[in-house]
Amino acid sequence: MKITLQRTSPNYRQKLSTHRIMRDLTIGLLVIVAYSLYNLYYNYSSNEPMMAAALIYLVSVGVGLVTEVVWALIHKENIVEQLKNSFPWVTSIIFALTLPIGTPLYVVAIGSFISIFLGKLVFGGFGSNIFNPALVGRVIVHLSFGDKLLPYIEAMKPITSGGFDITTAATPAAALAGTNWMGGEAFQYTLMDLFLGNHGGTLGETCIWIILLVGIFLAVRKVFDARIPVAYMGTVLVLSAVYAAACGLDIATYPFMQLCMGGIVFGAVIMATDPVTSPTSPLGKILFGIGLGFLTMIIRLKANYPEGVLFSILMMNMLTPWIDSLVLGRTNQKIGKQVLSIVLSLVVAMGCVFGIAEGVKADIAAAKAKEEADRIKKEEAEKKKAEEEANSFNWRVLEVVDGGYIMETYGYGGEDKPMKIEVKVSQDTVTSVKVLESAGETEYYGAEIIKGTNVASEKGKAFYDKFLTGEFKTSEIDGVDTQTGATLTTKGIVNAIKGAIVMSQMEREVNGDTYIYTISEVGYTQDKPMKIKVTVDKASATVKSVEILESAGETEYYGAEVIKGTNVASEKGKAFHDQFLAKEFAFDAIDGVDTQTGATMTTKGIVSAIKKAIAATK
């Protein structure tokens, strides 16, 4: 033996080497790959999903290897050495495992190339990259080809034959996101479902128990430091528990459901633990894990983005050098300070999640309140409309005068002392309104409005100025505000005016007790009103006949059927026809009739015309 000099010491090494680490990692990944293929084979009658997945893996690894080989050739390095020391297949397999099954192969190829080239080689190769290389590829593919990353195979569009097609249902994370992360009836997955992985998602992320087993194996073999995945998953559990507590969900199961969805376990065990891109010190690793948990939960809950794992890992990769630079000195000194930093970051994270939970609750409450307010508003509007409708026939024609009518309506004085108002209408203008008798309207109130004195309220004076002094268009009386401080009086005057307008729009023939009206009424089509002839007998207070002269705007199968009384109309429609269009009926039979016949607008139009005719006859 020749004695030579070895400048450095020590000269003893442990057996664990980087090659062994990467080899064990590859084995773990292949277990997950094998399971994913088996799962696809088992759940489908055809081999197509399994072949699709296998192709994705092959293309990814193949492109990765080719990229490395080309790089080695360009840099005139030994190809075998390059491949042996750069471990491209690990990155490619991880990248493939993050893709959904419907990813087109060209997207896989581009992504794999980007992972190896932009994610690792340009930084200086193995050991020099800042970001997790597989995630670099995944994120770029996500942003550039997002809509092509389908959770199902295009050629195998949904099979609607019962059963649960795992590739086409929304992923559990997306489903839960839709319920503001609160679950409830909309979310149908149980914890066992999630644990076993019988649902859609990317190729590698669904089967939780396999990933956990592989993770334990890799931690024991010292492939990675268990501190990172434990801190990551632990923080997710803690923050989910805070969210559950704040929102009243089940604290026992909710955190675990959050953990088992959306690739957290896969990300924690396979991607976050990449030693090159995570801090070196034990405290740094724990803070890294906490930061990951915090970011993932924030992205999920606040940005409502189901797949927060990718981005949170990349963001924490960015912060790794900073975390390293914070943890200086010896690792067993200032234990108090170290523990404090861990506790503080957890507390801050919990506080933020709590705040978000409160915010979400407030949002939900606000949305509910708005819904309630909207509903009330709608109810009130409908009530008002019904009231108005009812009121539109609260008038009587006493006399027909030159250019108008003398109407009788009820004001404050009610039925005992009705008002007598002369309203003259010409085409679309009300030319004059004169209150002839108003004994029932009190001083200081209605009387002032009628006289237009300054004693009336402002609104009342305005009403007088507008409607009792000059001319106004017929359309202006619609929706007028009758809250003048003398509401009943005002309402009475408005009814008179409205009645006069209605009268002016009808043709009336009087033959003793028989009044024949020809009324133009809008039904289904706004610009094609119906022309209805109503024959009324004043003496017997009956409507003798209702004839629909024109009904071009009423559609077949609907209004037209009601008018014709065919069997095609709905039951209610036929009943309406039989009761009101086919025979005579008493005046009060039309009150409160149900217009929901399936051709409501037509029916409402007919009813309106009948009511006008009745009112005009009384």
Partner 1 sequence: MSILSGKGKVKLNGQKGLTKDKPILSIEAPDVVYIPLVLGMATDFDVHVKEGDHVCIGTKLATRKSMYVPIYSSVSGTVKGIEKRMHVSKRLQQHIVIENDHKDERVKAIEVSNPDDMSQSEVFEAIKELGLIGLGGSGFPTYIKYSHPENIDTILINGVECEPFLTSDHLAMKRDIKALFDGTQFLMKAADAKKAIIAIKEHKPDLMEMLVEEAKNYPSIEPKEVPDRYPMGWERVLVETVFKKEYDKLPAEIGVIVNNSSTAIALSKGIRNGEPITHRVVTFSGNGVVNPQNVEVAVGTPVNYIIEKIGGYIEDPYDETEGFLLGGGPMMGKSVMNDTFVIYPYCNAITVLKKENIKPLPCLKCGECTLHCPAHLQPVRIMQGEKGANVELLEKLEVDRCVECGMCTYICPSKIEVTDMVAKAKRRVQLAQKRKNA
Give the C-alpha separation, 274 to 317, whole Å: 10
Q: Nearest approach, Cβ of 64 to partner 1 (angstroms)?
A: 18
Give the C-alpha separation, 503 to 430, whole Å: 12
Nearest to 102 by CA among 157, 140, 144: 157
Q: Which is nearer to partner 1, 144 or 331 (CB)?
A: 331
Q: Nearest approach, Cβ of 134 to partner 1 (angstroms)?
A: 16
Q: Which stretch binds partner 1 (CB under 8 A): 32-40, 64-72, 217-225, 541-549?
A: 217-225
Q: Which is nearer to partner 1, 5 or 74 (CB)?
A: 5
Binding residue (CB under 8 A) for partner 1 from 1, 143, 155, 192: 1
Q: Which is nearer to partner 1, 8 or 511 (CB)?
A: 8
Per CB under 8 A, contacts with partner 1 among 43-102 are 85
Q: Which is nearer to partner 1, 338 or 603 (CB)?
A: 338
Residue 184: CB atoms within 10 Å: 9
Instruction: Judge contact between 480 and 590, C-beta under 8 A.
Output: no
Q: Which stretch binds partner 1 (CB under 8 A): 172-180, 207-215, 281-289, 411-419?
A: 281-289
Q: Nearest approach, Cβ of 321 to partner 1 (angstroms)?
A: 10
Q: Nearest approach, Cβ of 3 to partner 1 (angstroms)?
A: 5
Local structure of 364: helix, strand or coil? helix
Q: Which is nearer to partner 1, 287 or 609 (CB)?
A: 287
Q: Which is nearer to partner 1, 21 or 109 (CB)?
A: 21
Q: Which stretch binds partner 1 (CB under 8 A): 272-280, 303-311, 371-379, 496-504?
A: 272-280
**Which position has the token pair 């309630």?**
372
Binding residue (CB under 8 A) for partner 1 from 78, 80, 186, 222: 222
Binding residue (CB under 8 A) for partner 1 from 57, 152, 224, 524: 224
Q: Which stretch binds partner 1 (CB under 8 A): 100-108, 222-230, 291-299, 567-575?
A: 222-230
Q: Which is nearer to partner 1, 223 or 435 (CB)?
A: 223
Give the C-alpha separation, 166 to 155, whole Å: 15
Is residue 9 a contact residue for partner 1 (CB under 8 A)?
yes
Q: Which is nearer to partner 1, 226 or 246 (CB)?
A: 226
Is residue 329 a contact residue for partner 1 (CB under 8 A)?
yes
Q: Which is nearer to partner 1, 124 or 146 (CB)?
A: 124
Q: Nearest approach, Cβ of 220 to partner 1 (angstroms)?
A: 15
Site string for partner 1, 336-355 (x = CB under 8 A): --xx----------------
Strands ordered across the beta sheet of 514-521: 506-511, 514-521, 530-537, 542-550, 585-586
Give the C-alpha separation, 286 to 334, whole Å: 16
Binding residue (CB under 8 A) for partner 1 from 132, 235, 281, 482: 281
Who's near 220: CB < 8 A, 6+ residues apart? none
Q: Nearest approach, Cβ of 223 to partner 1 (angstroms)?
A: 9
Cα angle value 110/112/116 (rounded, 5°):
120
Instruction: Judge contact between 71 and 36, C-beta under 8 A.
Output: no
Instruction: Judge contact between 492 and 448, C-beta under 8 A.
Output: no
Q: Nearest approach, Cβ of 330 to partner 1 (angstroms)?
A: 4
Find residue 517's DSSP bridge partners.
508, 534
**Which position has the token pair 């675990």?**
256
**Which position has the token pair 């290389």?**
133
Q: Which is nearer to partner 1, 5 or 192 (CB)?
A: 5
Q: Nearest approach, Cβ of 128 to partner 1 (angstroms)?
A: 7
CA distances from 606 to 50, 327, 551, 597 (A): 65, 84, 11, 12
Q: Nearest approach, Cβ of 119 to partner 1 (angstroms)?
A: 15
Q: Which is nearer to partner 1, 345 or 453 (CB)?
A: 345
Q: Could you tell me where the beta strands, DSSP code E, fall in 326-428? A: 396-401, 404-409, 419-426
Q: Which is nearer to partner 1, 339 or 390 (CB)?
A: 339
Who's near 313: CB < 8 A, 6+ residues apart? 132, 135, 267, 271, 272, 292
The dihedral sign for the CA sequence 578, 580, 586, 591: positive
Q: What contacts 24+ positions apart, CB below 8 Å, involve 312-316?
A: 313/132, 313/135, 313/267, 313/271, 313/272, 314/131, 314/132, 314/135, 314/136, 314/139, 316/272, 316/278, 316/288, 316/291, 316/292
Binding residue (CB under 8 A) for partner 1 from 47, 144, 179, 331: 331
Q: Which stretch binds partner 1 (CB under 8 A): 10-18, 239-247, 292-300, 511-519?
A: 10-18
Strands ordered across the beta sheet of 429-437: 396-401, 404-409, 419-426, 429-437, 472-473
Binding residue (CB under 8 A) for partner 1 from 48, 324, 437, 537: 324
Task: Report CA Rg, the chain.
Answer: 41
Is residue 279 a contact residue for partner 1 (CB under 8 A)?
yes
Per CB under 8 A, contacts with partner 1 among 441-460 are none
Binding residue (CB under 8 A) for partner 1 from 278, 392, 551, 617: 278
Q: Which is nearer to partner 1, 205 or 274 (CB)?
A: 274
Say which DSSP state 282 is in: H
Is residue 535 a contact residue for partner 1 (CB under 8 A)?
no
Binding residue (CB under 8 A) for partner 1 from 120, 199, 285, 498: 285
Cα angle value 162/148/92 (rounded, 5°):
105
Q: Which stretch binds partner 1 (CB under 8 A): 18-26, 155-163, 236-244, 609-617?
A: 18-26
Per CB under 8 A, contacts with partner 1 among 130-169 are none
* Burial of 143 per CB tally in 10 Å (0-12, 13-18, 19+): exposed
Say which DSSP state 126 is in: T
Per CB under 8 A, contacts with partner 1 among 109-128 are 125-128
Is residue 11 a contact residue for partner 1 (CB under 8 A)?
yes
Q: Nearest approach, Cβ of 125 to partner 1 (angstroms)?
A: 7
Who's near 475: CB < 8 A, 6+ residues apart? 428
Binding residue (CB under 8 A) for partner 1 from 190, 280, 426, 579: 280
Q: Nearest approach, Cβ of 123 to partner 1 (angstroms)?
A: 11
Contacts with partner 1, residue ranges (CB under 8 A): 1-14, 16-21, 85, 125-128, 222, 224-225, 227, 275-276, 278-283, 285-286, 324, 327-333, 335, 338-339
